[in-house]
Structure 1
């Protein structure tokens, strides 16, 4: 016991020495000076030291760090501390906003040719522990989903489109309206599902991770299919089934609280949008084996997921703690082997590069426009947390090696037409979303 106390005293003494010696400020200065080449970032340290980095182009960003302990934490663990300090109000944006700040950091980080010895050590440590962080048994999966998706309904209404599509939309151009882009996304997915292929039969469709039901209702609307949506979110389940009742389609579209691992029925079509990110690298085999198990021999599946274009990695620790516990964005090099082991055939892969960046920009702007209403639901710290989440996600899709992929799967290679022309031909025949659903007021 005496030894442990002595070690703690020594450790605290060393930390105190580093803080009060001003060394962390110097380390942070040299780090930023080596990193920031493009843009304009001015950093005001707790000591009053003020330094500007970059070539002065673009939005001018001025950041004040309130205390020396924050500087030390930024030096030791910047990937977590930037978000934590902003959320806590220990990083103050005196000029520019948090997106401007992150754009400078991530936009310059992509130009770096190496991460240095300390960076390699930190990455190796998180890589070793990533399977533990992404361990998602059934019980934990439901808790992780509730952490994010069972937040107030009113919150999501403030920044999503009226159909509550909470995934990457389809932007033909950056100035496409959010409502239109989400309608185009649903149509694009429906075209890849070949819903009109077996007109003599009513298709059975499984939607894994069905959200508030918008895609399920669209599929039913354009094809007459019977759609089963499964989710682990109590709130989304309740709202989705209420929508089905209100639209008089409960005999055709229904939703269940069910983990994908427990599904046993057979389906002609399987679609999953924004779900694979919550599966975890440990469970990719389980996931795709389940898709293969429930898909009929002549069926078609479409998996839409955030992905990494720069190879396997780890989830940002701040995002993992506050936004998506248990979540992980996979690289195709991690997903495709699991698909192959499940005996599924890849027919088509499409990469949506900047579509999610534009989606997040729209969400962020809408969120900021309704910030006072968000604050009334929660508090200012929550607003800062979500502001950072939306801004950092957008910057990551623009500069950080993230994209979205859509993988079309079958069990045989003769199910889907030989060329991709059918996708665009089918889109021209399909209507866009029906009239927006009016959610009941509370």
Structure 2
């Protein structure tokens, strides 16, 4: 009979809360005291050599393939694993980061399209009507996801202190909610760039439908190709895709794209104490080429780019709640997703959404908004932050 000692050591090191484990031969082992938060069922042997090489990738694939089953709260199970310093999720002896990846313009385009060009219909199943696939901003417990996404967009535009008639560039514009809000509510000339064909087609059609030609522009283009300058630059959930080796170039390009004393609002996933770096499973199946930097990395690159910091706002709890709502929405369309994409795909996305919620809940990662100025900080901004919240109220942020 196969010796399960190493498996038991891994589970003991990785979970401080009570869990039950049921092995492929029927043996059941309980860890911790009290009622288990979840039961892990191993339907077959998972090779130890694979676990030692890439624990998160191995367990993730085993879950996708149904070799591992989780009964109970998957988000809490992953959260507990993040909480344990010896966990395979925390850079212990049971895990290893994957090698560096190329981030040429062609490679970046392929990486983005592999995630965002699954199809607009897929995202419509579980996002809200704004089609916003980034952290929402919950001001009130009564906020729906849609309320919170509108809050987020207006909160970003209010931070910029943008004035009627000015220009704005949104790097990685998604399905265009920020662009259309900037044009219609703030009277800005708004330009967006994306590498996703699906997003480009969606925004292009909406520009025509709403008669916004001349006020909203979208390009299927890499941000590194842009030459014009803008009064304001926004970028939401973008720098996580550029790769560790390109973060410096990314912030320098933000500087190049801004007019003198222009403002930028850069919003993205960031580690507080350390960067989450690269996770082998997420990199292979969800975000090829992705990298999560820490705050010190980003601020260092901001300084090197000659930009100045006006404000830093962490939104960790907001992204946890956003992901929990997405997960609930995703579960409601389980049968539809499985019918169209298959059960393995459904399990992959379910694990991704819940694991990310757990990572935010544990504080392993955060999401941060960096308000930046080209030139001396705050030159074109009011003297205090109060302008942001006054503008939030005036613009309908609840």
User: Per the alignment, do residues 74 and 122 of structure 1 end up closer, same or farther by CA in structure 2, a change over 3 Å counting?
Assistant: closer
Q: Paired residue for 1:79?
A: 56
Unaligned runs of 5+ residues in structure 1 are: 1-20, 434-442
Q: Deviations over 1:323-357 (max 9, x none)?
A: 00011111111111111111111111111121111
Superposed structure 1 runs of 4+ greater than 3 Å apart = 69-77, 118-123
Corresponding residue for 1:32?
A: 11
* Match of residue 252, structure 2, among 278, 289, 307: 289
In 2 relative to 1, CA 400–88 (structure 1 residues): closer, same or farther, beyond 3 Å? farther
Going by fraction, where is helix more abundant, 1 or 2? 1
What is the CA distance between 1:105 and its match in structure 2?
4.1
Distance 1:35 1:389 in 2: 19
Aligned mates of 2:8, 2:178 — CA distance in 1: 49
Q: Secondary structure at the match of 2:125?
A: helix
Normalised by the length of structure 2, the TM-score is 0.94
- 1:248 to 1:421, Cα distance in 2 relative to 1, 3 A: same
TM-score (norm 1): 0.85
**1:373 aligned to 2:306?**
no
User: Offset at 1:377?
Assistant: 2.0
CA distance in 2, matches of 1:244, 1:214: 11
Q: 1:238 aligns with which of 189, 192, 201?
A: 201
* Residue aligned with 1:354, SS: helix
Corresponding residue number in structure 2 for 1:362: 325
SS of equivalent to 2:54: helix
> Is 1:190 matched with 2:157?
yes
Write the mapping of 1:393-412 to structure 2, written as runs, cut at 5 A: 393-411=356-374, 412=376
When residues 257 and 375 of structure 1 are mapped into structure 2, their CA distance, relative to the original with a 3 A threshold, is same
Q: What residue is the counterpart of 1:160 in the other structure?
A: 127
Shift of 1:74: 3.8
CA RMSD of aligned residues (A): 2.1
Task: After TM superposition, give the deviation of residue 82 of structure 1 in Å.
Answer: 1.6
Q: Identify which range, 370-379 or 353-362, moves more after superposition.
A: 370-379
Corresponding residue SS for 2:205: helix
- CA distances 1:410-432 after superposition (whole Å, capped 9, x unpaired): 12222222211110011111146
Match of 2:2 among 7, 22, 28: 22
Of 298, 319, 322, which aligns to 1:335? Answer: 298
Contact 2:316 2:367 in 1 (8 A): yes
1:106 and 1:400 in contact (8 A); partners too: no
Shift of 1:373: 1.3
| Residues 150-181 of structure 1: CA deviation (Å, up to 9, x unaligned) | 01211100110101000000123555311111
Q: Unaligned stretches of 5+ in structure 2?
A: none
Aligned mates of 2:120, 2:144 — CA distance in 1: 22
Superposed CA offset, 1:96-121 (max 9, x none): 2xxx2352343254243x569x9556
**Structure 2 CA distance for partners of 1:52 and 1:186, relative to 1, 3 Å:** same
Aligned pairs, how many?
Answer: 395
Which of residues 273, 298, 309 in structure 2 aligns to 1:346? 309
Larger-gyration structure (1/2)? 1
1:324 matched to 2:291: no
Q: What residue number does 2:19 align with?
A: 41
Pick from 208, 228, 232: which aligns with 1:269?
A: 232
